[in-house]
Structure 1
Amino acid sequence: MITAPQHILHNTPVLLGRMNHMPPPTDDNAQHTHDLLEESVITLLRQHCPTYLKMDGVPIRLALARAFVRFILERTRGNQARAAELAGFNRNTLRRLIRCFRIDWAFYAAK
């Protein structure tokens, strides 16, 4: 079960505001890939989170944010600077999210 982070506000700019500044895909292939990813996420949410609000008492937005941080750490083998760059976060912001979500980043570095 995912435990709710203690220090992240639900309307934090880190989780919500960054997406407003993301550039749109530049070509048709990128747009198609973006659309497929979005539809896949929506399908998973429909299957596993019928209320769209909470999953085991944790707001879905936080569960998705935690999953995203874990995903980028996995892809970068725990390299926080590279993970922050890929996510579009400041390195300190990523470290704060890792701490708040209680993610063991060293686990990803050991793989």
Structure 2
Amino acid sequence: MKSLDLRRAELLSRKVALTARIAQISDEFETHEAKDWAEMATEREGDEVLQDLGDAARAELRMIEAALARMDDGEYGYCVSCGEPIAEERLDLLPATPFCRDHAARH
């Protein structure tokens, strides 16, 4: 069983990595220098992929922030739907999850 401090450290580390990824994506959007239509089309396709990656990173970041808040409130590791403990194995795979296995399927 991982300690709360270790889980917090893991979440904070992931938060740093996601913040850096979001910054890199933002920087990439600002460096476009396409000169012709073909290059602009290629960049546009790349932008869509980058946008999706950025959206996913921001969503995960929100989940991490919520998990850290639950830690501060003493509610981390308990399902927000039923209040039952979330299995350690599930927290190992998805440390920011707010749901037990049964309720995750419903959301």
Q: What TM-score comes out, normalization by structure 2 length? A: 0.30
Task: Pick 1 or 2: higher relative contact order, CA cutoff 8 A, min separation 6.
Answer: 1
Write 1 or 2 for the structure with the bigger share of helix: 2
**Rg bigger for which structure?**
2
